[in-house]
Amino acid sequence: MTLALPTEPRDLASDWPLALYETLKAAGVGLMAYVPDAGHSTLINLFGTDPDVVCNVLTTEEEGIAIAAGAWLGGMRSVVLMQSSGVGNCINMLSLPVQTRMPLLMLVTMRGEWDEFNPWQVPMGRATQAALEAIGVTVLRADTGADVVETVAQAVTMAFEGDQQIAVLIGQRLLGKKKW
C-alpha cells in the first residue's frame, strides 16, 4: 500500500497538524491513544471530533502500548501520542510489540530541546531516541511541518506494512516554547 500525502495545497509550516490528521486517516488509523499534551492538541482535537475514530485518554503512556497491541489484534490500526518525558514510562511495555513483531506507531513530541524552560525535561529529552532504539524501536525524526507529514507517511508504511515498531520524534523547535 502506497500512502498518498494530502493533495490540497497547504502551508505546512502552520497547517501540518491537519495534514498529519489527513495522512493518518488515509492510512486507516481508527484508534488514537494519548496522554494530553499541548504539542499534540490540534491532532487530539481533530481525532476527538471524528466519529469514526476511537480515542483513549491514558493515565500513563505504557497503557497506550497495550491498547495499540489490542487494537491490532482486533483488526484496527492505531497511533499512540505522547511526550518525550513519557517514553521512559513505557520502555518495559515496548517489549510486547517488539518481541511479537506487532505494528506500533508512536508520535512523540519532544521536550528538553529548543527553548526549553523546564530543566526537569532535559534528561529524558536527551535520552529519548537512545532509549527507544535500545529496546528495538526504529526512530525517525521530523523538525519541520513538511518533514512531519512526509515522515509519518513513511512511518505508517513501515509500521503497518512491515510489522515494525516506529516512533516519530517531533522536534521541539517546530512546536515552539511551552507557555505557562
CA gap 110, 141 in Å, rounded: 10
CA gap 104, 72 in Å, rounded: 9
CATH superfamily of 13-97+109-172: Thiamin diphosphate (ThDP)-binding fold, Pyr/PP domains (3.40.50.970)
Predicted confidence (pLDDT) per residue in 90-116, tens digit: 999 999 999 999 999 999 988 766 666
The pLDDT score that the predictor gives to residue 23 is 95
The pLDDT score that the predictor gives to residue 120 is 74
CA distance to 1, 21, 27, per residue, from 86 (Å): 31, 22, 25
Side-chain-side CA neighbours of residue 105 (13 Å)? 25
Burial letters for 114-143: b for 16+ Cβ neighbours within 10 Å, e otherwise?
eebeeeebeebbeebbebbeebebbbbebb
- Nearest CA among 58, 70, 84 for reference residue 30: 70
What is the reported pTM? 0.88
Reply yes or no on whether the pLDDT at 3 is more than 60: no
Predicted confidence (pLDDT) per residue in 127-157, tens digit: 899 999 999 999 999 998 889 999 999 999 9
Give the confidence band of 43 by pLDDT, cuts at 50, 70, 90: very high
The pLDDT score that the predictor gives to residue 7 is 52
